[in-house]
A and B are shown apart, each in its own frame.
Chain A
């Protein structure tokens, strides 16, 4: 008799196997000792996984998380103000440069007239 694949066995364990697979399984259980052992192993694993408990984090988890979130929200406001600082700084520097340039332009000796070259 044709053996069942692992996929067939998992379908059986999940309760979604076809009628044909179920019948083959029942026959194999009666006739094939090695199949019975293999199925029993996977069945045991499936049962254990079914009762594997849900884990719980520490008791402080909830408060730590809420505090972290609140702190992050408070800190979030500071960067928005700070975010403008480079622009303010760049603005001030550009203004200063402009004033300095104007100042030096004022100091430049001015030409008294323009002599056109006459060809």
Chain B
């Protein structure tokens, strides 16, 4: 039992940031992302004994995280938009990041919030640099043939959202 507890703790320590990041990018709300990530861990713990050891654990686990975040997104209200206070919160969290990077990060978070969960997931999984395109296909249950196309489209839509958003910001200055 104590061994189980330690193993569970190790699993949480090792995967919590990735799980939380995926959930946060999809839900765009820290509290909901924490709940979704916790739900995913709970489901994974419960299903660990049935886990097929020949499969890759991360693909299996992040599929649970992805589904938990999608479920949470369907359950909850419209997404929370990132405001200046959020941008400030980011800056308080990590003082070493340059102000310019923080500003850019906040802009991208805001643009990501305007995309569909599928698009956000594609971008998040790809840029986490932890998964191959085949593994991304496994997590999102999309065929590996279409994953690259979907990723390209998602990035294009993000660029458009960012362009629109920056255009509005410039307009608001005048």
Interface residues of A (CB under 8 A from B): 6-7, 10, 41-42, 45-46, 48-58, 61-62, 64-66, 68-70, 72
- CA of A69 to CA of B155, assembled, Å: 37
Interface size on B, residues (CB 8 A): 38
Task: Select from chain B the residue with minimum beta-carbon distance to A56.
Answer: B17
Q: How far is the CB of A35 from chain B (nearest CB, A)?
A: 15
Complex contact A54–B13 (CB within 8 A) = no
Complex contact B152–A61 (CB within 8 A) = no
Complex contact A45–B155 (CB within 8 A) = yes
Q: Which 6 A-B pairs have the closest CB atoms?
A: A57-B20, A55-B21, A49-B127, A10-B152, A55-B24, A54-B17
Given contacts A61-B16, A64-B38, 11 further A-B contacts (CB under 8 A): A10-B151, A48-B104, A49-B108, A49-B123, A53-B94, A53-B105, A54-B18, A55-B33, A58-B34, A66-B12, A69-B41
- CA of A7 to CA of B149, assembled, Å: 8
Partner of B152, one of A6, A41, A70: A6
Residues of A within 8 A of B149 (CB): 7
Partner of A50, one of B9, B20, B94, B127: B127
Interface residues of chain B: helix, strand, loop or mixed (majority): helix
Partner of B42, one of A7, A49, A68: A68
Partner of B9, one of A56, A57, A64, A66: A66
Complex contact B5–A66 (CB within 8 A) = yes
Partner of A69, one of B20, B42, B101, B128: B42
Known contacts: A42-B159, A57-B37. The answer to whether A62 contacts B16 by CB under 8 A is yes
- CA of A46 to CA of B156, assembled, Å: 11
Q: How far is the CB of A52 from chain B (nearest CB, A)?
A: 6
Q: How far is the CB of B70 from chain A (nearest CB, A)?
A: 18
Residues of B within 8 A of A57 (CB): 16-17, 20, 30, 33-34, 37
- CA of A49 to CA of B155, assembled, Å: 10
Task: Select from chain B the residue with minimum beta-carbon distance to A7.
Answer: B152
Report B122-149 CB contacts with A as 1/0, cut-off 8 Å: 0100011000000000000000000001
